[in-house]
Chain A
Amino acid sequence: MEVALYSLPFLLKGAVVTLWVSAIVASCSLLLGVLLGTLACYAPAPIRWAITLYCDTVRGIPVPVLILTVYYAVPLLLGFPINNYADAILALTVFTTAQVTEIARGAIQSIHFGQIEAGKAIGLGFWPRVLYVVFPQAIRRFLPPWVNNLTDVVKGSALISLVGIVELMLQIKQVAGRIYVPMPVYIAGTIIYFLINYSLSSASRKLEGRFAHIRE
C-alpha cells in the first residue's frame, strides 16, 4: 500500500503523457482515417489503389518497428532530428490512420445500395447523398470498432517508451526498478490503464444507445 502511494504521483504523471499522446493520435487518425475511408469508397481507382496499398503495408508492419523506423528515418529525410514526441505521434498516427481508414471504409460500404438509389430517386446529388443518407447510417457501424481501436491506441502508446518518452509504461518500469518491489507498482499501473479504457468503452456504449433507433 505504501509502495503504491509512493509510486502514484509518478504513475499519474506517466498517465497524463499517455493520455495526451493518445488524444492527439486519436484525433489526427480520426480525421485522416475518415477522409481516406471516404476516398477509398468514392475516389477514382488510382487513389483507391494507393489507399489500399498504404493500409495493407502499414498493417503488415509491427508498431515498434514503425516507431523506430520513423525515429531514425526522419533525421535522414529532413537532415535534422525532430522532437521524439513528434516522431512517436507521427508513427502511431500513420499506424492508427490505416486502421481507422479500414473501419470507415467498411462502415460506408455496408450501407445498402438501395439507400443510395432512394437518395438518387428524390434528386439528391452526390454530396447530399453522402452527407444526409450514407454518413448518418454509417456512424452507427463505425462507432463500436472505432472505440475498440481507441483502446488499442491507449495500449499501443506504451510502445513509445522505445524512443525514450516517459509515459505510463516507462514510469511503471522506472519506479519498480527504483524500489525493487515491482508487483504493487505494476498492479497500480494496470488499474490506471484499465480505468482509462473502461471509461472509453462505457462512454461508447452510451453513445451507441443514441443511435439505437437506426435499425434496418
Chain B
Amino acid sequence: MMAATDNSAAIVRIRGLGKAFGSNRVLNGVDLDVARGEVVTIIGPSGSGKTTLLRCVNALEIYDEGSITLDGVEVGYLEAAGRRRRRKERELSAIRAETGMVFQMFFLFPHLTAAENVMLGLRKVRGKDKASARAIAERWLTRVGLADKFDSYPAQLSGGQQQRVGIARAVAMEPKVLLLDEITSALDPELVGEVLGVVRQLADDGMTMIVVTHEMAFAREVSDLVVFMDGGRIIVEGRPDEVLEKPSHERLKTFLSRLDSNRKRAS
C-alpha cells in the first residue's frame, strides 16, 4: 500500500528557503532533506517559522527565495528557459494533491459526513467513481478506528475523532508526504493519545511525514530526525536522542526547559 522505503532518495528537498510577510522575515535560509519513509519533527518557539515552513511544502504559502522540490518537482515556481515564474493555481492544485496536510483546527467539511470528507478529494481530484471512493474511505476510516462513524457529521464527533477523520482525508489521497501541523494542540488532553496512536501507526507503515508538534515525548518516539527552529532558521538538527535528551545549544536548552516547566505548572 505505502511506498517501499528507499532511504537513499530525498522526497522533499529544501534549499535556502526564504519567506517574508511584509517586512517580517519568517524564513531565513532553511535547508532540509526528508528521505522517503522518514519522519521529521520540527520543534521551536512560536514565531520561529515552523508552520510557515510546513505550509510552503504544500504551497499554501509561496516562498520568496530558495527552492523546495517534491519528488524532484519544484513546488512554488516553474523554471523554464532560465526564467522562474510563480506557479498558476491549476499547477499548484496538482502539486497539493501529492501532499497531505492535517490541520491544528481539523477543518473538516461540516456539510459532509466522515466518509464524504474522505471521498471528496478521491472523487473530484483523483476522478474515482463513487463506489471505489467509498470503499477507500471506509478502509481508511476503519484503520483510524472509526468504522462505526462513516455516516456521522463532524459536529457529531469528538475532537479526537474529527482529527482522525482529518488524517484519513489526507492519507486516502496517498500523498508523497504527510504534513502534520500541531494536530493535537486543539485537543483535550485525554484525546491526544488516540490521535498520536494513528500517527505512530502511519510512521510504522513507512509514511513520509513532516510533523510540527509540542509533544516532545511523541517527537522522541516517532522521529528519525528532529529539527529545532528559531528566528526562521534551523538551529539544531539531529537524531531525537541527541537533540532532545542531550541538548548542547543554548537556545534549544532554554526552549526545552521552558516547555518542561510549563508542563509541570500545568499538572
B101:A121 contact, CB within 8 angstroms = yes
User: Which of A121, A124, A128 has most B Cβ within 10 Å?
Assistant: A121
Q: Return B159 CB to nearest CB of chain A, in Å.
A: 13
- Return chain B residues, CB-CB under 8 Å to A123: 93-94, 96-98, 121, 125, 173
Say whether A137 faces chain B, with CB atoms less than 8 Å apart: yes
- Return chain A residues, CB-CB under 8 Å to B92: 120
Say whether A110 faces chain B, with CB atoms less than 8 Å apart: no
A118:B125 contact, CB within 8 angstroms = no
A214:B111 contact, CB within 8 angstroms = yes
A132:B120 contact, CB within 8 angstroms = yes
Binary contact track A187-216/B, C-beta < 8 Å → 1, others 0: 000000000000000000000000101111
Q: Return A118 CB to nearest CB of chain B, in Å.
A: 4
Q: Which of B90, B96, B105, B110 meets A121, CB within 8 Å? A: B96
Interface size class of A (residues with CB under 8 A): 20 to 34
- Return chain A residues, CB-CB under 8 Å to B97: 122-123
Binary contact track A118-149/B, C-beta < 8 Å → 1, others 0: 11111111101000110011001000000000
Interface size class of B (residues with CB under 8 A): 20 to 34
Contacts A117-B107, A137-B111, A216-B110; A125 near B153 (Cβ below 8 A): no
Binary contact track B189-204/A, C-beta < 8 Å → 1, others 0: 0000000000000000
- Return chain B residues, CB-CB under 8 Å to A122: 96-97, 100, 120-121, 125, 169-170, 173
Say whether B109 faces chain A, with CB atoms less than 8 Å apart: yes
Say whether B60 faces chain A, with CB atoms less than 8 Å apart: yes
- Return chain B residues, CB-CB under 8 Å to A121: 58, 60, 96, 99-101, 103, 170
Say whether A27 faces chain B, with CB atoms less than 8 Å apart: no
- Return chain A residues, CB-CB under 8 Å to B96: 120-123
A137, B97: Cα distance in complex, Å: 23
A124:B107 contact, CB within 8 angstroms = no
Report the nearest A residue to B55, measured CB to CB.
A117
Report the nearest B residue to A126, measured CB to CB.
B89
Q: Which of A115, A132, A211, A214 meets B107, CB within 8 Å? A: A115
- Return chain A residues, CB-CB under 8 Å to B89: 125-126
Say whether B108 faces chain A, with CB atoms less than 8 Å apart: yes
- Return chain A residues, CB-CB under 8 Å to B98: 123
Contacts A114-B103, A133-B109, A137-B111; A120 near B155 (Cβ below 8 A): no
Say whether B84 faces chain A, with CB atoms less than 8 Å apart: no
- Interface hits, B160-190 → A, CB 8 Å: 169-170, 173
A114:B105 contact, CB within 8 angstroms = yes
B90:A120 contact, CB within 8 angstroms = no
Report the nearest B residue to A112, measured CB to CB.
B107
A39, B111: Cα distance in complex, Å: 23
Say whether B246 faces chain A, with CB atoms less than 8 Å apart: no
- Interface hits, A135-191 → B, CB 8 Å: 136-137, 140
Say whether B264 faces chain A, with CB atoms less than 8 Å apart: no
Q: Which of B58, B100, B121 meets A124, CB within 8 Å? A: B121
B125:A114 contact, CB within 8 angstroms = no
Report the nearest A residue to B122, measured CB to CB.
A122
Contacts A137-B110, A216-B110; A124 near B60 (Cβ below 8 A): no
- Return chain A residues, CB-CB under 8 Å to B124: 124, 128, 132
A117:B93 contact, CB within 8 angstroms = no
Report the nearest B residue to A214, measured CB to CB.
B111
User: Which of A119, A126, A137 has most B Cβ within 10 Å?
Assistant: A119
Report the nearest B residue to A139, measured CB to CB.
B111
- Return chain B residues, CB-CB under 8 Å to A112: 107
Contacts A122-B170, A123-B96; A213 near B153 (Cβ below 8 A): yes
Q: Return A141 CB to nearest CB of chain B, in Å.
A: 12
A125:B90 contact, CB within 8 angstroms = yes
Q: List 28 A-B contacts (CB under 8 A).
A: A114-B107, A115-B107, A117-B107, A118-B108, A118-B109, A121-B96, A121-B100, A121-B170, A122-B97, A122-B100, A122-B121, A123-B93, A123-B94, A123-B96, A123-B98, A123-B121, A124-B121, A126-B89, A128-B124, A128-B125, A132-B120, A132-B124, A136-B111, A137-B111, A213-B153, A213-B155, A214-B111, A214-B153
Q: Which 10 A-B pairs have the closest CB atoms?
A: A123-B97, A122-B121, A118-B107, A121-B101, A114-B107, A215-B155, A123-B125, A125-B93, A214-B111, A136-B111
